[in-house]
Amino acid sequence: MSLTKFWTTVNFTCFLSALATVSLAQTAPVMPVSRVDESIATLLASPKIKQLLSAIENDDERAVKELKHFTSDLPAPPFKEKRRAQAFLARLHELGLKDAYMDTNDNVIGIRKGTGKGPRLLISAHLDTVFPEGTDVKIKEQDGKLYAPGISDDTRGLIVLLQWIKTLNELNVETVGDLVFVANVGEEGLGDLSGMKAIFKTMPNLDGMVGLEPGNGDRITNGGTGSHRYEVIFTGPGGHSFGAFGQIPSAIHALGRSIAKIGDVRPPKDPKTTFTVGTIEGGTSVNSIAGHASFMLDIRSNGSDSLAATEKEILAAIAAGVAEENQRWGSDKKITVEVKLIGDRPAGSTPESSTIVQVAKASSKAFGKNPSMNSSSTDANIPMSLKIPAIILDSGGKNGGTHSLTEWFDPSKEWVGSQTALITVLSLVGVEGETQPLLTKH
């Protein structure tokens, strides 16, 4: 690839990424804190809602059994979520969402209609885990903890969605707005948020989103860390390590020079911006001048401008590394580089002053928590980048070892996090006969 074509491709990709952040959604007015507090107080004082919260606690033993089943019997490696998706869809049908369906991307969608012309809130948890096919996901119990890859991220979130549908339907709790339950694909790794991208492309009438991720109920994610991921491929003539030495450049040496120059890039600390070369491969043998080498590159930032600026520096460093290797040997045979964009997660945020965040904070405090705000790369990046109110909440239960083979989940009082998030959801869409929706319908 020529350097001109290289930069044209990169700039055009960045342009499309920037264009994707444009939205026609209007900025909702900030809800008075007094009204938020009043709505949550009303719900918590309601006999019907008290019964609902008790039902979630009493359902705990059954929910843990279902968590074990989905974790151990229905593994969901990246790009192979369909079996788990089918099981989740069957459960939605069993629980009363007869019109639930699986889309062409293997996302599972079930809509629980509200009673009036209220907002439409998407509630989600992702189907996929980071672990490749063949990973041992059988649960091991020790000291009250359940150990298994993927048990908390995000299998626990899926179980909470099912639990909410079960208890809402059993107690006939009617919401004013619609609840759009989604179990989506493509959140982890190179999935590139493909599931959520498809959802917001095909369902443009969504007014907000609440996603569930691991946590004990004291964290609110209102920032979407953007990322660009690349596969960088170096190609050269290759040759004998002794016979061709000094006559041709090395793809691996070009890779090494590029990585060294990438390592000298100094990204801004605020907004937090990072990069890493995560994997490298290439070469033929120990006594060969490499004709092929590649690495995977991840660039992240909490700000779109900082992401773009750092990305520009890093891509220039790659081009400089290749040029340096070619110049070093002065050969007519050159190393060429191909840079493939393999991941594009747009950055975004939901202001702390927004209604959806204020409701989540008030709900968390009502359950005795002191919520903290944070940024991360999640499914919420997509609606955030479209200026649609979105947050990620904790699904309940202590956890640790996320993304490792020793991932664990402690089910002790896990229901508290589930109750907290549910009160946030109900406050946003309103409960018939109790409260009006706090989420603005666009």
pLDDT in tens, 154-203: 999 999 999 999 999 999 999 999 999 999 999 999 999 999 999 999 99
Report whether pLDDT(207) > 80. Answer: yes
How far apart CA 35 and CA 31 sit, in angstroms, is 7
Q: Which of 231, 226, 160 is nearest to 381 (CA)?
A: 226
CATH numeric code, 226-345: 3.30.70.360
Query: Cα–chain-centroid distance for residue 305?
Result: 21
What band does 23 get if pLDDT is binned at 50, 70 and 90? Answer: very low
- Tokens representing residue 240 in the block: 């004998």
Q: What residues are paired with 120 via a beta bridge? A: 178
Q: Let me know: does 378 contact 157? Beta carbons within 8 Å.
A: no
Report whether pLDDT(5) > 70. Answer: no
Compute the CA torsion angle 98, 104, 105, 106 (nearest 10 deg).
40
How far apart CA 359 and CA 365 sit, in angstroms, is 10
- Quick one: average pLDDT of 362-384? 96
What band does 212 get if pLDDT is binned at 50, 70 and 90? Answer: very high
How far apart CA 201 and CA 391 sit, in angstroms, is 19
Q: Let me know: does 434 contact 257? Beta carbons within 8 Å.
A: no
Q: Where are the alpha helices (DSSP H) in 147-265?
A: 156-170, 194-202, 251-263
Q: Let me know: does 354 contact 384? Beta carbons within 8 Å.
A: no
Report whether pLDDT(383) > 90. Answer: yes
pLDDT digits over 331-359, tens only? Answer: 999 999 999 999 999 999 999 999 999 99
Pick the CATH number of 31-224+350-429 from 1.10.10.10, 3.40.50.970, 3.40.630.10, 2.40.50.100: 3.40.630.10
What band does 33 get if pLDDT is binned at 50, 70 and 90? Answer: confident
Exposed/middle/buried for residue 338 (C-beta within 10 Å: 0-12, 13-18, 19+): middle
> In whole angstroms, how large is the CA radius of gyration of the chain?
24
How far apart CA 439 and CA 423 sit, in angstroms, is 13
Name, in order, each residue with C-beta under 8 angstroms of 404's C-beta and a sequence gap of 6 or more.
Answer: 149
Task: Please state the domain extents for the chain.
Answer: 31-224+350-429, 226-345
What band does 428 get if pLDDT is binned at 50, 70 and 90? Answer: very high
Compute the CA torsion angle 163, 166, 169, 171 (nearest 10 deg).
-80
What band does 29 get if pLDDT is binned at 50, 70 and 90? Answer: low
- For CA atoms 431, 435, 440, 442, the dihedral sign is positive
How far apart CA 361 and CA 406 sit, in angstroms, is 31
Stronger pLDDT, 295 or 10, i.e. the higher one: 295
How far apart CA 128 and CA 85 sit, in angstroms, is 9
How far apart CA 20 and CA 200 sit, in angstroms, is 12
Q: What is the pTM of this model?
A: 0.89
Does residue 129 sit in helix, strand or coil? coil
Name, in order, each residue with C-beta under 8 angstroms of 220's C-beta and a sequence gap of 6 or more.
Answer: 357, 360, 361, 364, 371, 372, 373, 374, 391, 392, 393
Q: Where are the alpha helices (DSSP H) in 27-140?
A: 33-45, 47-58, 60-73, 82-94
How far apart CA 388 and CA 25 sit, in angstroms, is 7
The angle subtended at Cα 22 by Cα 20 and Cα 24, nearest 5°, is: 130
Which pLDDT score, from 0 to 100, does residue 204 have? 86
Per cent of the chain over pLDDT 70 is 93
- Quick one: average pLDDT of 105-131? 97
Q: Which of 139, 331, 341, 132 is nearest to 247 (CA)?
A: 331
Q: Is-same-fold flag (31-224+350-429; 226-345)?
A: no
Mean of per-residue pLDDT scores for the chain: 93
Q: Let me know: does 428 contact 174? Beta carbons within 8 Å.
A: no
Which pLDDT score, from 0 to 100, does residue 32 have? 77
